[in-house]
């Protein structure tokens, strides 16, 4: 509990100071034309204990799995203007908030940041094509989040060979399929486990549970896994049905309607992200099922406002704007030989209707800003 309180305190202090694997997709291998290959020996990485943490990060970086850490030469020469590709798996308000945080930090550092995004959550091939293209477009580093680590692995390896470091964000994956320079994000299973513990306590260890998964892959496995870990000690927390979505409100809405038709006894739904929770809440409203509680995971502004309104009950708030700032700072430190490698943990704060105003009252740390003004508690 003391450690959790410390995490909450760090993230709140930061706010106050401001006021999954899916089947691999086949992609043509990238060409080596116009890709500069570094020839100098890599410099020794600094010790993790000496690294100056970006504001908001929780603890010193921890090592990745054996073979997952990039240790090769980086082509970027410190002192030059850096050009960094920001690559989300989709553009939605949550990833937009991370992007805005990264952009703010890029501007502070004098870095050029260019955003690439696929057309939709399931457009794995589109993202892989973009990842293939950045190798020949003069980028010094790539900030990447993907729903298909296996498809991205060979393309990340090509970037490694060109001396273009890759930083994985909004993740805590320790064994990415190709060597990477850093991982930045909240501890996914730990975050939803903490939320699940609070839910199980609220329900006195007894509920009929519907589960909304994300698109198959690491992210969905870890997030749903945290909820299941929390419920496992309680035999009366029964998982009645579990359905996949493509991380969006529309597919979650349909899945919830199907779920409730098949199992009207469900009185609790847990979702892998806030957009699924938004879709679930909409479906339940249409069914006039105010007796079903819904919990998500993200900290998207729309979700926080719906929680404040009582449309659904809570989320693991991963403070996305802050995550974006931290990720850009880490990427800059990688380019300048200051990052020791490994995984850097960012906050995840269990947030409910009763206390969500502590975030909504700081619009400068949210993107997009809330639709109305919220007084601070």
Distances (CA, A) of 292 to 209, 211, 248, 262: 10, 13, 20, 15
Please enumerate in sequence order all residues whose Cβ is within 8 A of that of 44, keeping only pairs 6 or more positions apart, or say none.
none
Instruction: Output the DSSP codes for 185-226.
Output: E--HHHHHHHHHHHHHHHTTT-EEEEEE--STTHHHHHHHHH
Read off the pTM: 0.86
pLDDT tens track, the chain, 377 positions: 434 444 444 444 444 344 433 333 333 444 434 444 454 445 567 888 899 999 999 999 999 999 999 999 999 999 999 999 999 998 888 999 999 999 999 999 999 999 998 887 668 899 999 999 998 999 999 999 998 999 999 999 999 999 999 999 999 999 999 999 999 999 999 999 999 999 999 999 999 999 999 999 999 999 999 999 999 999 999 999 999 999 999 999 999 999 999 999 999 999 999 999 999 999 999 999 999 999 999 999 999 999 999 999 999 999 999 999 999 999 999 999 999 999 999 999 999 999 999 999 999 889 899 999 999 99
| Element counts in the chain: helices (H) and strands (E) | 11, 12
What H or E segment, with its residue span, contains residue 59? none
- Give the residue from 87, 22, 19, 116 showing the smallest Cα distance to 331: 87
Please enumerate in sequence order all residues whose Cβ is within 8 A of that of 268, keeping only pairs 6 or more positions apart, or say none.
199, 203, 207, 208, 209, 210, 292, 293, 294, 295
Give the HSE-up count for residue 331: Cα atoms under 13 Å, Cβ half-sphere: 33
Instruction: Please tell me whether residue 243 adopts helix, strand or coil conformation.
Output: strand
Is residue 319 a contact partner of residue 12, using CB atoms and an 8 Å limit? no
Q: What is the mean pLDDT of the chain?
A: 89
**Residue 265 pLDDT:** 98
| Integer Cα distance of 61 and 340 in angstroms | 7
Quickly count: other Cβ atoms within 10 Å of residue 112's Cβ: 14
Q: Could you give phi then psi for residue 297, rounded to 5 degrees?
A: -165, 115
Cis peptide before 85 (omega within 30 of 0): no
Tell me the domains of the chain and their CATH numbers: 2-26+41-186+321-346 (3.40.50.2300), 189-317 (3.40.50.2300)
**Residue 38 pLDDT:** 53
| Integer Cα distance of 132 and 152 in angstroms | 9
Is residue 183 a contact partner of residue 174, using CB atoms and an 8 Å limit? yes
| Integer Cα distance of 120 and 5 in angstroms | 37
Quickly count: other Cβ atoms within 10 Å of residue 196's Cβ: 27
| Integer Cα distance of 294 and 277 in angstroms | 6
Give the HSE-up count for residue 236: Cα atoms under 13 Å, Cβ half-sphere: 8
Do the bridges between strand 207-212 and strand 237-243 make them parallel or antiparallel, or are there none, so unpaired?
parallel
């Amino acid at each position: 509990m003391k450690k959790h309180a410390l995490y909450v305190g760090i993230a709140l202090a930061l706010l106050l100071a401001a006021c999954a694997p899916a089947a691999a997709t086949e992609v043509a291998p990238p060409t080596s034309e116009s890709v500069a290959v570094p020839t100098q020996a890599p410099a020794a990485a600094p010790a993790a204990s000496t690294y100056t943490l970006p504001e908001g990060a929780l603890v010193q970086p921890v090592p990745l799995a054996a073979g997952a850490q990039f240790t090769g030469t980086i082509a970027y020469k410190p002192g030059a203007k850096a050009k960094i590709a920001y690559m989300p798996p989709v553009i939605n308000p949550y990833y937009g908030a991370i992007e805005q945080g990264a952009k703010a930090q890029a501007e502070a550092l004098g870095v050029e940041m260019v955003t690439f995004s696929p057309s939709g959550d399931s457009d794995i091939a589109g993202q892989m094509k973009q990842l293939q293209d950045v190798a020949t477009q003069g980028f010094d580093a790539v900030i990447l989040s993907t729903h298909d680590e296996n498809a991205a692995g060979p393309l990340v390896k090509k970037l490694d060979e060109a001396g273009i470091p890759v930083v994985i964000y909004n993740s805590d994956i320790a064994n990415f399929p190709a060597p990477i320079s850093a991982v930045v994000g909240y501890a996914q299973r730990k975050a939803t486990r903490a939320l699940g513990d609070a839910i199980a306590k609220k329900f006195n260890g007894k509920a009929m549970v519907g589960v909304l998964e994300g698109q198959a892959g690491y992210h969905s496995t870890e997030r749903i896994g945290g909820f299941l870990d929390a419920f496992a000690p309680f035999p009366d927390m029964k998982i009645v049905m579990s359905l996949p979505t493509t991380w969006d409100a529309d597919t979650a809405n349909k899945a919830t309607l199907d779920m409730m038709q098949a199992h009207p006894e469900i009185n609790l739904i847990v979702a892998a992200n806030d957009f699924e929770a938004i879709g679930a809440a909409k479906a339940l409203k249409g069914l006039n099922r105010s007796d079903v509680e819904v919990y998500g995971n993200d900290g998207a502004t729309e979700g926080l406002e719906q929680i404040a309104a009582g449309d659904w009950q809570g989320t693991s708030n991963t403070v996305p704007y802050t995550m974006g700032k931290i990720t850009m700072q880490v990427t800059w430190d990688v380019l300048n030989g200051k990052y020791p490698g490994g995984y850097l943990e960012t906050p995840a704060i269990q947030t409910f209707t009763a206390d969500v105003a502590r975030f909504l009252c700081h619009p400068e740390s949210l993107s997009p800003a809330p639709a109305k003004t919220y007084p601070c508690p």
